[in-house]
Amino acid sequence: AQSVTQLDSQVPVFEEAPVELRCNYSSSVSVYLFWYVQYPNQGLQLLLKYLSGSTLVKGINGFEAEFNKSQTSFHLRKPSVHISDTAEYFCAVSPMNTGFQKLVFGTGTRLLVSP
Amino acid sequence: DAGVTQSPTHLIKTRGQQVTLRCSPKSGHDTVSWYQQALGQGPQFIFQYYEEEERQRGNFPDRFSGHQFPNYSSELNVNALLLGDSALYLCASSFSARGAEAFFGQGTRLTVV
């Protein structure tokens, strides 16, 4: 079984400041890793994913994440945030050893960007 | 491409009633998954359909059932509704490949009163 822990339920930050949203996971098998963003009253949009290869992954809207296998972490970063980045962010994993994709999500981190 | 579309967008039902939610996958996708997102929580996997069969099921009771049609669209049925079934129900579609990106619809907001 897999589990995902997002250590911060809410992260307040000022516009143009850097931000890091933390994600740790637990799994008995290797996993794919994802970050999704959810704007109010909307579904989920994929920001980035790690399947294999380079541990530093770049996504949309200037976000990037680094996979650290030894620490079982996949933290999301952005060097300079905008007001429009205010949203809920979800980290998710999917086991590699199955022929289908089941996403296991964390409880989410609300990013609040203020002027 | 319309992406993943879900209907209806909002729904209010009474305890004990039954409800059917619908999902049309993104063009070319053959796999549909359903998730329940309670307020303030992350989405929870309900089940996944591929080739008109349920491939895997999460920890949800038998009151939750589904169907996939030959055109890959899908329905989620919930019987004997409970207050605790109030949530945003999300449909996700993807290719049947490992690591394939799941595209989500905007969801159906179900309120049980």
- Contact assignment for A32 to B106 by CB distance below 8 Å: no
Q: Would you call A43 exposed, middle or buried from its count of C-beta atoms within 10 A (0-12, 13-18, 19+)? A: buried
- Contact assignment for A102 to B35 by CB distance below 8 Å: no
Q: How many CB atoms lie within 10 A of CB A39?
A: 13
Enter the tokens of residue A94: 């999917």
Whole-number pLDDT of residue B62 = 96
B64-68, strands of its sheet edge to edge: B5-7, B19-24, B74-78, B64-68
Per-residue pLDDT of chain B (113 residues; tens, 9 = 90+): 679 999 999 999 999 999 999 999 999 899 999 999 999 899 999 999 999 999 889 999 999 999 999 999 999 999 999 999 999 999 999 887 666 788 999 999 999 99
* pLDDT one-digit tens code per residue, A19-28: 999 999 999 9
DSSP H helix total and E strand total for chain A: 0, 12
Nearest CA in chain A to B54: A100
- Contact assignment for A32 to B35 by CB distance below 8 Å: no
Q: How many CB atoms lie within 10 A of CB B63?
A: 13
Per-residue pLDDT for A107 more than 70? Answer: yes
Contacts of B87 in chain A (CB under 8 A): none
Whole-number pLDDT of residue A60 = 94
Query: How does residue A43 score in pLDDT terms, banded at 50, 70 and 90?
Result: confident
Whole-number pLDDT of residue A1 = 86
Whole-number pLDDT of residue A84 = 95
A105 at B interface, C-beta within 8 A: yes
- Contact assignment for B33 to A105 by CB distance below 8 Å: no
* Mean pLDDT value across residues A58-74: 95
Query: How does residue A97 score in pLDDT terms, banded at 50, 70 and 90?
Result: confident
* Among A101, A107, A115, A99, residue whose Cα is nearest residue A38: A107
The continuous run of DSSP H or E covering A4 comes out as: strand A2-5
Q: Report the distance separating Cα B45 and Cα A75, nearest Å.
A: 23
* pLDDT one-digit tens code per residue, A4-40: 999 999 999 999 999 999 999 999 988 999 999 999 8
* pLDDT one-digit tens code per residue, A79-90: 999 999 999 999
Whole-number pLDDT of residue A100 = 65
Closest Cβ opposite residue A49 in set B33, B42, B101:
B101
- Contact assignment for B94 to A90 by CB distance below 8 Å: no
* DSSP one-letter code for A71: T
- Name the phi and psi angles at A107, rounded to 5: -85, -5
Closest Cβ opposite residue A44 in set B94, B99, B104:
B104
Contacts of A4 in chain B (CB under 8 A): 42
* DSSP one-letter code for A8: -
Closest Cβ opposite residue A100 in set B31, B90, B105:
B31
Helix (H, G, I), strand (E, B) or coil at A62: helix
- Contact assignment for B98 to A104 by CB distance below 8 Å: no
Measuring CA to CA, how many Å separate A20 from each of A63, A66, B44, B75? 10, 11, 24, 38
Name the interface residues of B facing A (CB cutoff 8 Å).
Answer: 4, 31, 33, 35, 40-45, 48, 50, 55-56, 58, 90, 92, 94, 96, 98-107
What does chain B look like in DSSP terms, one character per residue?
----EEE-SEEEE-TT--EEEEEEPPTT--EEEEEEE-TTS--EEEEEEETTEEEEE-S--TTEEEEE-TTS-EEEEE-S--GGG-EEEEEEEE-SSTTPPPEE---EEEEE-
